[in-house]
Amino acid sequence: MSVLHLTKDNFNEEVLDSKVPVLVDFWAAWCGPCQMIGPVIEEIAEEITDARICKVDVDAEPELARKYKVLSIPTLMVFKDGELARRESGAKSKEEILEMLK
- 54 an active-site residue? no
3-state SS class at 61: coil
Active-site entry in 22, 34, 44, 54: 34
The count of structural domains within the chain is 1
Assess whether 34 carries a catalytic annotation. yes
Assess if residue 34 is contained within a domain: yes
- Model pTM? 0.96
Separation CA 51–CA 36 (nearest Å): 22
Whether residue 1 has pLDDT greater than 90? no
Range of the domain at 22: 4-97
Do 52 and 18 touch, CB atoms closer than 8 A? yes
Model confidence over 5-64: pLDDT tens digits?
999 999 999 999 999 999 999 999 999 999 999 999 999 999 999 999 999 999 999 999
Domain membership flag for residue 102? no
Using alpha carbons, list the distances in angstroms from residue 38 to 5, 16, 83, 84. 13, 23, 24, 21
Q: What's the CATH number where 48 sits?
A: 3.40.30.10
Q: Which of 31, 40, 97, 101 is catalytic?
A: 31
